[in-house]
Amino acid sequence: MLSAADNNLLTTTGPGTAMGALFRRFWLPALLSRELPEPDGPPKKLRLLGEDLLAFRDTNGRVGLVDPRCPHRGANLYYGRNEEGGLRCAFHGWKFDVGGRCLQATTFPQDEKYPDLLPKLGLHAYPVEEAGGIIWAYLGPPDLRPPLPRLELLELASDHRFASKKLQECNWAQACDGALDTAHFSFLHMSVGEDMQSAATMSQSEAAASGDSNRLRWMRDDGMPRFSFVEHPAGVVMGAARHADGEDLYWRISQFLFPNHALVPSTFPGETYHSQIFVPIDDDSCWIYCTSWNPARPIGPAERARYEAGHSIYANVDADYIPIRRRANDYLLDRDEQKRRSFTGIKGVSEQDQAIQDSQGFIADRTREHLGPTDAGVVRFRRLMLDAAKALAAGHEPAAAQAAEAFCVRGGGAVAHRDVPLADVMRSRFGDPAGLISKNGNPHV
């Protein structure tokens, strides 16, 4: 459990909060690239860490992320015209470029003072970078702006990766809690079919998310995995070990990366890797950016179509990335299905996660929890974030923000003898105890 003060610290990220300051030391996904599909297309409203912003793509394809209020008299630039080289306010025609610079202030006479005036009339704009199909934003102090984290996703050609997102109607931290609590798969995502094969076909996404029937069986039979950790400069490796067959353990190894990434623990060699990034919209909701990458082979059309339709970490979403099964319709819970076939009666691994995380409240009350050994990953994540936010408030910058190279890590599944510790499981699975991918490529795909 947490104290009320720590729960508040963990979950509030608006301007002026300690956790908000920590988030503002890192690059955060602001939009998918495909949400601004064309030069001079419609601008896009968004809310990030409690700040209302406006994004637009200019004639040259560059993206601007700006304060939406026009400095003339406060009209919202969302209604503006995205014209040659900038966005023009629809009220009286002031025009701004992607850096927020005022190009024309049409209500002032263009005399010799005009060039001196323009620099004073700009919009606040945040730095933006585009990589991996995602538009990344940095909302922190300009002099502390770090390089983009070197995520493996960003290293690969576009045919080897996929990215989408889904709305989550609760606080970012409990969604991240849920992703790092890998023990819950033994219950939340399980089927209640008679045999494992029918159980696996009953829920395709469940079977695919967990690999094969052995993995499903090991997860079903051991609902109390034992956690081990390996800390590294970008975050922490979280290994959860279940009994497998004979003297072996089945390891599901996730990673938490600062400040909001959770790597999916299920991937075996050759399979596709996945990660979720939890981005606060405000304190009651977040976008979960879902990313997948496969260093061994391109992600083909059939696999992409599955992700687009809702599969594994991907929800079935509408054109605005809002899940079809959501709070407002109780996730289309089917009680008959729950009685006969699936533990929840809710279709989709992602929607099962979403339902149960939303059900903890818009902001979970962590003062009333009773945490046990299988909550060790959740405890570690919260402690890292709370310690980093408190340290920053005391004047100590988070080292992870500048450790871009350390973010190129993998998590995944492995089977090993019960005497092998996590660091050695990581070495044999990924070639490095932190799962770090060498710059020269890595044979452990």
Integer Cα distance of 354 and 338 in angstroms: 17
Judged by CB under 6 A, does residue 313 bind ligand FES?
no
Residue 83 CB, nearest approach to ligand FES (Å) = 13
Candidates 86-94, 196-204, 344-352, 421-429; binding stretch for ligand FES (CB under 6 A): 86-94
Which of the choices Fe ion, ligand FES, none does residue 353 contact, using the CB cut-off of 5 to 8 A by kind?
Fe ion
Bridge-partner residues for 250, per DSSP?
Answer: 242, 415
Residue 178 CB, nearest approach to Fe ion (Å) = 6
Nearer to ligand FES, 107 or 201 (CB): 107
Nearer to ligand FES, 92 or 340 (CB): 92
Residue 39 CB, nearest approach to ligand FES (Å) = 22
Integer Cα distance of 116 and 381 in angstroms: 50
Which of the choices Fe ion, ligand FES, none does residue 333 contact, using the CB cut-off of 5 to 8 A by kind?
none
Binding residue for ligand FES, selected from 2, 10, 53, 89, defined by CB under 6 A: 89
Positions in 55-74 near ligand FES (CB under 6 A): 70, 72-73
Distances (CA, A) of 347 to 47, 212, 336: 29, 19, 12
Judged by CB under 6 A, does residue 78 bind ligand FES?
no
Judged by CB under 6 A, does residue 124 bind ligand FES?
no
Nearer to Fe ion, 353 or 358 (CB): 353
With CB under 5 A, what is the number of residues at the site for Fe ion? 1
Binding residue for ligand FES, selected from 94, 250, 287, 331, defined by CB under 6 A: 94
Integer Cα distance of 20 and 307 in angstroms: 31
Nearer to ligand FES, 91 or 343 (CB): 91
With CB under 6 A, what is the number of residues at the site for ligand FES? 9
Distances (CA, A) of 37 to 300, 396, 434: 22, 39, 36
Question: Torsion angle of alpha carbons 51, 264, 169, 15, nearest 10°?
Answer: -20
Distances (CA, A) of 270 to 153, 156, 182, 308, 445: 15, 15, 21, 21, 6
Which residue's Cβ lies closest to Fe ion?
353
DSSP of 206-253, one letter per residue? HHHHH-SHHHHHHHHH---PEEEEEEETTEEEEEEEEE-STTEEEEEE
Nearer to ligand FES, 85 or 298 (CB): 85
Nearest to 409 by CA among 432, 437, 433: 437
Judged by CB under 6 A, does residue 92 bind ligand FES?
yes
Strand order, beta sheet including 86-88? 81-83, 86-88, 95-96, 102-104
Per the CB < 8 A criterion, the answer to whether 353 and 359 are in contact is no
User: Residue 421, CB half-sphere, CA atoms under 13 Å: how many?
Assistant: 6
Nearer to ligand FES, 88 or 380 (CB): 88
Residue 31 CB, nearest approach to ligand FES (Å) = 23
Candidates 69-77, 142-150, 301-309, 348-356; binding stretch for Fe ion (CB under 5 A): 348-356
Positions in 283-312 near ligand FES (CB under 6 A): none
Candidates 24-32, 85-93, 301-309, 411-419; binding stretch for ligand FES (CB under 6 A): 85-93
Residue 352 CB, nearest approach to Fe ion (Å) = 6
Phi, psi angle pair for 14, to nearest 5° = -70, 175
Which of the choices Fe ion, ligand FES, none does residue 94 contact, using the CB cut-off of 5 to 8 A by kind?
ligand FES
Binding residue for ligand FES, selected from 75, 202, 332, 415, defined by CB under 6 A: 75
Residue 50 CB, nearest approach to ligand FES (Å) = 24
Nearest to 248 by CA among 229, 274, 277, 222: 222
Integer Cα distance of 278 and 168 in angstroms: 9
Candidates 88-96, 119-127, 270-278, 398-406; binding stretch for ligand FES (CB under 6 A): 88-96
Per the CB < 8 A criterion, the answer to whether 59 and 78 are in contact is no
Q: What three-state secondary structure class fits 145?
A: coil
Judged by CB under 5 A, does residue 353 bind Fe ion?
yes
DSSP 122: P
- Could you list the residues that contact ligand FES (CB under 6 A)? 70, 72-73, 75, 89, 91-94
- Could you list the residues that contact Fe ion (CB under 5 A)? 353
